[in-house]
Amino acid sequence: MFMHKVKIAFHKIDVSKHSWCNEATLISIEGGLGSLKKTYYGIYERESYSSQIFSAITLNGKQLVQSKVHSCGSCGGMLANGSGIDENDKEIKEIRDISEAINSEFESLEKSVEDMKPLLGLLEDGLYVIADIPLYPTDGFGNFFWAVPNEEADAGVIEWHGWTDTYASPKFLYPSQSTDLFDPARVDHYIKNVSKKSAPRAVAYKLDGFMCVLLDGHHKATASALSSVPVNCITIIPLDGVGRKNDILYFGRIEVDKKDLPEEMQHLAKNKSLQLKNLPTDETFEGTIIKKKWEQKYLESGKNFPSVESLLTQSRIHR
């Protein structure tokens, strides 16, 4: 086990002004494996409005969710599934190790973070916010989260209509596990307590804009979808960037002043240079994890939650 090499420090942060977030803590990771991360592909043309960056959440180099984001400020983003997490991945043990603890009743964010240490050890070194957030089990376009298209499709990656914002709050979910793993008995197990504050949490990783990828808890999210309630997720939010003038750290909508950080975290509070990998020879983004023909009750469940456009309208009203 590699965890003895990983140093994880904690710093409680105030999220009282964020009604969409139950609570959150800031963590620093040093000595992480870096096998679970966001990987970038393509060529960044700073002066070109038509340039694109391809990105993916990868586990040991395997694409879980793929994102095509235009640099054009009035363009939207596209998502496609990857090849998903399966039992043959060598890191699957770390995800499975947390399942039993996470699948029990929720006690506190602190306990959940402790339970997640095997998974957190897979992250790259740096600063992250770990937050308890209600997320909608849909892609933001009315699709049930586990029935999204395998091919490229519009999704709540970034906002459009001239108001793009990388630092949006997490809202929607994309799957990372094959529908071959679907077990209706597990859904029935979770659906009994889905509305309780102590309901077991799922685990998600923030991708771009409103979108997160679900790492663990697909049956919990399905139970929530059928019950028309959000699924509470312990959500990993990486550092998006540090303000050049004000030393504010941005984790989506959550802001942390660098001067408030404990001394042992200060050296990690910096912008990372964008490292792009070469584009694959085949630029077609298409996943393989959606194999099931879902019943209508599942397909219709995604329409019971807010859409990307409704959130954008609400955001403009409060700007």
Q: Is residue 69 part of a domain?
A: yes
The pLDDT, as a whole number, for residue 1 is 44
Helical pair 218-227 and 184-191, crossing angle rounded to 10 deg: 60
The pairing of strands 36-41 and 276-277 is parallel
Give me the residues paired with residue 52 across strands. 70
Q: Quote helix, strand, coil % in the chain, to nearest 5.
A: 25, 30, 45
The pLDDT, as a whole number, for residue 30 is 93
The pLDDT, as a whole number, for residue 167 is 57
The pLDDT, as a whole number, for residue 159 is 42
Q: Length of the chain in residues, anyone?
A: 319
Q: Is residue 2 part of a domain?
A: no
The pLDDT, as a whole number, for residue 61 is 78
- Whole-angstrom Cα distance, residue 309 to residue 83? 29
Q: What is the pLDDT along the chain (319 residues), one digit of tens a residue?
A: 444 467 888 898 999 999 999 999 999 999 998 988 888 776 556 555 545 667 778 888 777 887 765 544 434 455 666 666 665 555 556 666 677 777 888 999 999 998 888 889 889 999 999 999 999 999 988 999 999 887 777 665 544 433 344 457 899 998 988 898 899 999 999 998 898 888 999 999 998 778 899 999 999 999 999 999 999 999 999 998 888 778 899 998 899 999 999 999 999 998 877 666 665 555 555 677 888 999 999 999 999 999 888 877 765 534 4
Q: Which domain holds residue 118?
A: 7-317
In the numeric block, which tokens belong to residue 207?
Answer: 């991708």
In the numeric block, which tokens belong to residue 239?
Answer: 């550092």
User: How many distinct structural domains can be found in the chain?
Assistant: 1
Q: Is residue 101 part of a domain?
A: yes
pTM equals 0.86
- Whole-angstrom Cα distance, residue 99 to residue 199? 14
Are the C-beta atoms of 40 and 54 separated by less than 8 Å?
Answer: yes
Q: Is residue 1 part of a domain?
A: no
The one-letter code for the residue type at 200 is: P
